[in-house]
Amino acid sequence: MKAVLRWYLVVFGIACALIALAHILIGPSTIIGANTPNATLDGDLRFSMLLFLGYGIACVWAARDLDRHAGLIHLLMLVFFAGGLVRLLTVAYVGWPHWFYVAMLVVELVTPLVYSPLLQKATGRSATADLAALTR
């Protein structure tokens, strides 16, 4: 199971990094159904995507050793889940986005809810214990 979790995290991290690079290099035209933004929104998007690039790189880096980096991986999954919750704010304030982003919302909410319990089973430790170990 660890090999599957490791490879999933590598592919997941690479996908995040590639998405981020597309947004950074090409810009807002990579967003399906979006209007042409002003310079402020364009800059904000590219800045945020640099953080997402770092997120993807962190996933790939952490996948090298699931046991050692389990706390970081749980934290990364928590951040991804929070990203899905933030997307729900858009639904509440603005309405439903393009169907592709609804699908991404499902991925953002489901991936951590499936991956973290599987990681706990593979390591034999709770997410709470692994997260607490990050503070030591």
This prediction's pTM = 0.94
Q: Domain segments of the chain: what residues?
A: 2-133
Q: What mean pLDDT do residues 63-85 have?
A: 98
Q: Which two tokens stand for residue 53?
A: 């690039």
Q: What is the pLDDT, as a whole number, of residue 8?
A: 98
pLDDT score of 75 more than 90: yes
Give the residue from 100, 101, 75, 71 showing the smallest Cα distance to 86: 101
**Alpha carbons 51 and 71: distance in angstroms, whole number:** 19
**Mean pLDDT calculated for residue range 77-81:** 99
Determine contact, residues 43/57, Cβ cutoff 8 Å: no
Please give the Cα distance from 32 to 17 (Å, whole number). Answer: 18
Instruction: Give the count of beta carbons closer than 10 Å to the beta carbon of residue 93.
Output: 7
In the block, which residue shows the tokens 């393009």?
98
Res 84: pLDDT: 97
Q: Give me the mean pLDDT over the 87-97 stretch.
A: 97
Q: What is the pLDDT of residue 94?
A: 96
